[in-house]
Chains A and B, each alone.
Chain A
Amino acid sequence: MNKLLSYVPATNECDFDRIARLQDKMYHRKATLCRERAEIYTEVFRETEGESMILRKAKAFKKTLENMTIYIEPDSLIVGNQASRNFAAPVFPEYSIDWIIDEMDEFALRSGDSFEVDEDTKERIRKIAPYWMGKTHKDEVLKNLPPVNRLAEKQSVLHRGGISMSGDGHIVPNNEYVLSHGYGGIKEIARRHLENDADLSDDQKDYYRSVIMAMEGALAYCKRFSRLAYETAQNTADEKRKNELLKISEMMGRLMQGPADSFYRAVETIYLTHVLMMIESNGHSFSFGRFDQDVYEYYKKDIEKGVISEDKALEIITHFFIMSNSLNKIRPWDHTQYSGGYPLYSNLMVGGMKPDGTDGTNDLSYLCLEAMALNGLPEPNMSVRYNENTPHSLMKDAAKLIARGFGMPAIFSDDVCIPAMASLGLPIEVARDYTSIGCVETGIPGRWGHRATGMTYINFGKILELVMNNGCDPDSGVQLIKINGREGRDIEYENYDELWAAWNRLLEFYSDLAYQCDLVCDRSLKVYDADPFASSLINCSLERGKTLKNGGAEYDFVSSSNIGPSVVGDSLAAVKKLVFEDKVLTLKQLREALDSNFEGIEGARIRKLCRKAPKFGNDIDYVDEIVRDVYESYLKLLPKYKTDRFGNGPFGCGYTMSTSNITSYVPNGFDVGATPDGRLAGKPLNEGASPCLGADTNGPLAVVNSVSKLPNKRMAGGQLLNMRFSPGSLEGDDNLEKFTHFLETLRKKNIFHDQFNVVDSATLRAAKAHPEDYPDLMVRVAGYCALFSTLMPEAQDAIIARTELSL
């Protein structure tokens, strides 16, 4: 069993053996598919031809909640299931189903994120598929995608993100609002709008009707659990468990008809709301937000009244955390490569500044870290916010948890993130309330309704390769821009300015295309991702009578995901230094070496020069400034892009920048030939804002200094830094204390976010060879954690190749 960090239980109310059993169940969870939702949605859609999409979806949502299989985990205090079995992924045919049919027999054979699907399920899903052909969100996107975008995809510059074939997700409900109104209260608000508001459009009427139906479904779902818990209690011999089940039955019988009135109910509600959103839509990154802030009042009251002990609270939180690993999502293989390890990115944030500027750390912040230590599983994706008033003891506990080596928590510095959010034009008290949503992207809980990151992926490494090849992709032969006006790959640059101009020109061209792709996806999501349940939990949606994708959110900012800025910066620096300044190479020699993937003695000689050129991550201004220029070259393009919701309600509707690019740096690297920084063809690009794999040779402080020079205070979409430390460097209190100081200093060093793997290379290699011996080895992948054994081999190699910072 996992040990606690600092907390010492005062009673035996937290049953650690039971936690260990629940946890063990999750370590050995088997991913499968569940057909129930798909079948019910198909049935409802058949019956509702001609009605508006939002009504059809609401009806199907309600019917699913009334009829799907429900179960109660034998050991759990927290109830609510997404599909008929633990870790089964529901199917969402209205978004896309063609790939499920195509890949059905491959799911079990995948090298990462495999799914076992039984023959009956296969057959029944195949049976409903024909109904959906040509009617899905994906069909709509493909119909509207400009041909030039397809060519850019063929060049591997652009990758359509998950939102081109699934829902969006990335929603942190306004938990305070949900807890104080209940689903019943929200239904009532929708009903009043529908009955009393004058001049409602048909769309608005449908919206309110849908919210009412969604909430009715949610309440019915709660009631079903009440009955099930009661029946289970009748057949339970163990007195303690029987009483718990009766308590669950009582709680679920009236849960969310009105305000929550206890800590336990508040936690159950937050979990259940999460599950319901993940039945409504197959987006991901539905997040819990600032849990310790949202629930603290309930906790305090219960503790003061003696309703609950701290130990019991710890048990409830731990069960909540463990149960969030029972949910699942299936993605097509090409998207799985971008996000290996079954991630749901259910973020949960503790600590940080309150809107009034004081520090919000409370007892729950500590308990959450303890619960995470007990949990030891990939979800929730936990982060800690900190500022100059954050207690050292909280950071020390965070350091202790990091030292456990399972990659959490990530840390977010208020000193950088708040200015970044404010740079979008948010009032300071709003900016101070930020939380992480998804990977490392940030948003404001209850006010945000769109993914900050990963709408469309832009492969910066590939654009660089095109710059070196006159815009012509060596792999596909596709040439959309001729830099020198001539066809073919030959290109000569006289000086660095010309090279830099070519980079800017291509970057703008492809960014414009990525933006077009976002628009196509967004316009389709407006229809197909109509989510009355989730939308109504976000500020302004109910007032406006609009779903989020239709302009229902208070704030609206998105970003593409940019992959490989460090590879680009290192490469430009190498060309600048070797070709234009030191003149030890001609551009022609370099291009030939790249073409041959640095083959032969001559290739090796050139590669050596390339590798010796300054590299980002070593605190060398020469190259750090070029990497910064790369960021600036993208940031300056953003003001011209507006989302589809512009002028339609939300504040902003603009773009920001982010490097939270999940595992995409691995498959994106497959597509990019050798680069002037000395990287070989097909090798990974750099992860997030981290240095290129193995390029940082001067230790962690130099990495921090390099990253500190980037425009992090304008990276409102999230700036990802991932570091790997050797376990020995965090062993013992003295080292932990030093590491805690290291964390605390990052704030002053303009570091937006940092996350850590604490595991040695030998262990990782052994785990790759013998996954069965390491079922619980969890690693930081990018902005999230995954069990190492679930990753595909290339992603495992990329993690092994990260520089192990040994002290």
Chain B
Amino acid sequence: MKGFVNKIQHYSTKDGPGIRSTVFMVGCNLRCLWCCNPESMLPGYKLMYHSLKCQRCLSCVHAFPEAVVMSEDGCVINREKAGFDRLVDICPFEAYEKMGEWIEASELVDRLLRYRDFYEGSEGGVTFSGGECLLQSEFVEQCMDLLHENGVKVCIDTAGNLPWDRIKGVLGKCDTVLFDLKAYDDQLHQRLTSVSNEMILDNLNKLDQLGKELYVRMIVVPGLNDDISDLKARVDRVRGLRSLKQIDFLKYHRLGVGKYRELGLRYPLDDIGEVNEELLAKIRKYAGDIVTTVGG
């Protein structure tokens, strides 16, 4: 079967143990305000417009007068009315880029296996991420079976917001899970991600029963979810899990801002500043015996 993939990143060092290739799947059922991968979060193909490459030649404006107009900052595109392929084709300066690709599982695995030597030496492997990769759980499972047949370990990076019956099969087969916990307070969780964390927390317990190597990832966003009490509650919530390997605190960053602009989207957050390092030190201390890391 085919899966819808945004991109494959080789030599990923932040998505699980060892040297890994990360497959970013398209589509997510959360809407986190800080999401740095909007092209993976939203469904369907995306059209990026790189205004720095645009030479203001008007080729696209002439081809789609109803969809593209030229402004001082470059082209303004009505993506509902524009044909992505045609726009990409018409621009001589490569200012348009269409993102998203349907790939057959066997083909994706063939591409990944080319890097097997690197995975083996470093005890790494392949990570499925997104978006929410488990929205395409059958595809992921099919890829995983093929990878396992070839001795490659697989890691799932998930926010866990799916019915357990739908994901237990694939999670039961994988080797490592990266599980996001974005807020402990449910009201807060809903405000920040647009969904409740009830099922997520429930799934976390069930996942723990499977005994997979578990990394819990906690994003820290200034002014949104960096209240020490919520962080402590998140840490306490996972403290007793028997398969917990470590907690990764992920510092909010604004590296995704440019992508929103290129996708013609509004970035949901104002400039909310940097994560407080003292706070991080405090919460890591609070975690006590649990292994913690700080990343971006």
Which A residues form the contact surface with B (CB < 8 A)? 601-602, 604-605, 607-608, 611, 619, 698-702, 705, 729, 734-735, 737-738, 741-742, 744-745, 748-749, 805, 807
Assembled-state Cα–Cα distance A601/B63 (Å): 15
Given A601-B59, A619-B114, A699-B9, 12 more A-B residue pairs with CB atoms under 8 Å apart are: A604-B57, A604-B92, A608-B91, A699-B11, A701-B11, A701-B115, A734-B13, A738-B19, A738-B124, A741-B122, A742-B122, A745-B122
Which of these, A608, A699, A745, contacts B92 with CB under 8 Å? A608
**B11 in contact with A742 (CB, 8 Å):** yes
Q: A601-B57, A601-B92, A608-B94 known; A701 and B118 CB under 8 Å?
A: yes
**A741 in contact with B93 (CB, 8 Å):** no
Assembled-state Cα–Cα distance A607/B91 (Å): 11
**B202 interface hit (Cβ, 8 Å):** no
Q: A605-B92, A611-B94 known; A807 and B12 CB under 8 Å?
A: yes
Within 8 A of A (CB), among B78-125: 91-94, 114-115, 117-118, 121-122, 124
Closest A residue to B9 by CB, please name it: A699
Question: A744 — which chain B residues lie within 8 A by C-beta?
Answer: 121
Assembled-state Cα–Cα distance A607/B55 (Å): 14
Closest A residue to B7 by CB, please name it: A698
**B114 in contact with A745 (CB, 8 Å):** no
Within 8 A of A (CB), among B20-69: 21, 55, 57, 59
Question: A745 — which chain B residues lie within 8 A by C-beta?
Answer: 19, 117-118, 121-122
**A729 in contact with B93 (CB, 8 Å):** no
Closest CB-CB distance, A154 to chain B, in whole Å?
A: 35
**A700 in contact with B122 (CB, 8 Å):** no
**B222 interface hit (Cβ, 8 Å):** no
| 5 examples of A-B residue contacts, CB within 8 angstroms | A605-B92, A738-B13, A741-B121, A741-B124, A745-B19
**B293 interface hit (Cβ, 8 Å):** yes
**B18 in contact with A741 (CB, 8 Å):** yes
Q: A699-B9, A701-B115, A705-B115 known; A604 and B122 CB under 8 Å?
A: no
Which of these, A604, A611, A735, A749, contacts B13 with CB under 8 Å? A735
Question: B124 — which chain A residues lie within 8 A by C-beta?
Answer: 738, 741
**B122 in contact with A701 (CB, 8 Å):** no
Assembled-state Cα–Cα distance A611/B21 (Å): 25
Question: A611 — which chain B residues lie within 8 A by C-beta?
Answer: 94
Q: A601-B59, A604-B92, A611-B94 known; A705 and B13 CB under 8 Å?
A: no
Which of these, B10, B93, B115, B121, contacts A604 with CB under 8 Å? B93
**B92 in contact with A734 (CB, 8 Å):** no
Main secondary structure of the interface of B (DSSP, over half): loop
**B261 interface hit (Cβ, 8 Å):** no
**A705 in contact with B9 (CB, 8 Å):** no
Closest B residue to A700 by CB, please name it: B11
Which B residues form the contact surface with A (CB < 8 A)? 9-14, 18-19, 21, 55, 57, 59, 91-94, 114-115, 117-118, 121-122, 124, 293
Closest CB-CB distance, A243 to chain B, in whole Å?
A: 49
Question: A807 — which chain B residues lie within 8 A by C-beta?
Answer: 11-14
Q: A604-B55, A699-B9, A705-B115 known; A741 and B92 CB under 8 Å?
A: no
Which of these, B18, B21, B115, B117, contacts A738 with CB under 8 Å? B18
Closest A residue to B14 by CB, please name it: A807
Q: A605-B92, A608-B92 known; A699 and B10 CB under 8 Å?
A: yes
Assembled-state Cα–Cα distance A113/B11 (Å): 37
**A738 in contact with B10 (CB, 8 Å):** no
Assembled-state Cα–Cα distance A326/B55 (Å): 50
**A698 in contact with B10 (CB, 8 Å):** yes
Assembled-state Cα–Cα distance A369/B160 (Å): 47
Assembled-state Cα–Cα distance A741/B21 (Å): 15
Closest B residue to A609 by CB, please name it: B92
Assembled-state Cα–Cα distance A403/B96 (Å): 36
Closest B residue to A748 by CB, please name it: B117
Closest CB-CB distance, B214 to chain A, in whole Å?
A: 17
**A742 in contact with B118 (CB, 8 Å):** yes
Closest CB-CB distance, B132 to chain A, in whole Å?
A: 23
Q: Which of B12, B57, B122 has the most CB of A within 10 A?
A: B122
Assembled-state Cα–Cα distance A699/B21 (Å): 10
**B92 in contact with A701 (CB, 8 Å):** no
Closest B residue to A705 by CB, please name it: B114
Assembled-state Cα–Cα distance A741/B121 (Å): 6
Closest CB-CB distance, A398 to chain B, in whole Å?
A: 15
Assembled-state Cα–Cα distance A737/B124 (Å): 12
Question: A749 — which chain B residues lie within 8 A by C-beta?
Answer: 117
Question: A748 — which chain B residues lie within 8 A by C-beta?
Answer: 117, 121
Closest CB-CB distance, B222 to chain A, in whole Å?
A: 21
Question: B11 — which chain A residues lie within 8 A by C-beta?
Answer: 699-701, 742, 805, 807
Closest CB-CB distance, A380 to chain B, in whole Å?
A: 29
**B118 in contact with A741 (CB, 8 Å):** yes
Closest B residue to A603 by CB, please name it: B92
Closest B residue to A606 by CB, please name it: B92
Closest CB-CB distance, B289 to chain A, in whole Å?
A: 19
Closest CB-CB distance, B212 to chain A, in whole Å?
A: 20
Closest CB-CB distance, B5 to chain A, in whole Å?
A: 14
Question: A605 — which chain B residues lie within 8 A by C-beta?
Answer: 92
Q: A700-B11, A805-B11, A807-B14 known; A738 and B122 CB under 8 Å?
A: yes
Question: B94 — which chain A residues lie within 8 A by C-beta?
Answer: 608, 611
Assembled-state Cα–Cα distance A700/B12 (Å): 10
Assembled-state Cα–Cα distance A737/B121 (Å): 11
Assembled-state Cα–Cα distance A705/B14 (Å): 22
Assembled-state Cα–Cα distance A807/B91 (Å): 30
Question: A701 — which chain B residues lie within 8 A by C-beta?
Answer: 10-11, 19, 21, 115, 118
Question: B91 — which chain A residues lie within 8 A by C-beta?
Answer: 608
Closest B residue to A807 by CB, please name it: B13
Closest CB-CB distance, B149 to chain A, in whole Å?
A: 21
Assembled-state Cα–Cα distance A738/B10 (Å): 13
Assembled-state Cα–Cα distance A742/B91 (Å): 39
Assembled-state Cα–Cα distance A745/B115 (Å): 10
Closest B residue to A737 by CB, please name it: B122
Assembled-state Cα–Cα distance A698/B121 (Å): 20
Closest A residue to B19 by CB, please name it: A738
Assembled-state Cα–Cα distance A271/B91 (Å): 60
Which of these, A602, A700, A737, A741, contacts B10 with CB under 8 Å? A700
Assembled-state Cα–Cα distance A619/B21 (Å): 14
> 3 nearest interchain CB pairs?
A741-B122, A604-B92, A701-B10
Question: B92 — which chain A residues lie within 8 A by C-beta?
Answer: 601-602, 604-605, 607-608
**B19 in contact with A742 (CB, 8 Å):** yes
Question: A601 — which chain B residues lie within 8 A by C-beta?
Answer: 57, 59, 92
Closest CB-CB distance, A349 to chain B, in whole Å?
A: 23
Assembled-state Cα–Cα distance A729/B295 (Å): 12
Closest CB-CB distance, B244 to chain A, in whole Å?
A: 18
Question: B14 — which chain A residues lie within 8 A by C-beta?
Answer: 807
Question: B93 — which chain A residues lie within 8 A by C-beta?
Answer: 604, 608
**B57 in contact with A741 (CB, 8 Å):** no
Closest CB-CB distance, B245 to chain A, in whole Å?
A: 13
Closest CB-CB distance, A18 to chain B, in whole Å?
A: 37
Closest CB-CB distance, A680 to chain B, in whole Å?
A: 13
Closest CB-CB distance, B175 to chain A, in whole Å?
A: 17
Question: A742 — which chain B residues lie within 8 A by C-beta?
Answer: 11, 19, 118, 122
Closest CB-CB distance, B124 to chain A, in whole Å?
A: 8
Closest CB-CB distance, B296 to chain A, in whole Å?
A: 8
Closest CB-CB distance, B34 to chain A, in whole Å?
A: 20
Question: A607 — which chain B residues lie within 8 A by C-beta?
Answer: 92
Closest CB-CB distance, A427 to chain B, in whole Å?
A: 30
Assembled-state Cα–Cα distance A619/B13 (Å): 20
Assembled-state Cα–Cα distance A729/B12 (Å): 9
Closest CB-CB distance, B72 to chain A, in whole Å?
A: 21
Closest CB-CB distance, B8 to chain A, in whole Å?
A: 8
Assembled-state Cα–Cα distance A763/B197 (Å): 43
Question: A737 — which chain B residues lie within 8 A by C-beta?
Answer: 122
Closest B residue to A704 by CB, please name it: B118
Question: B57 — which chain A residues lie within 8 A by C-beta?
Answer: 601, 604
Question: A729 — which chain B residues lie within 8 A by C-beta?
Answer: 13
Q: Which of A608, A735, A744, A807 has the most CB of B within 10 A?
A: A807
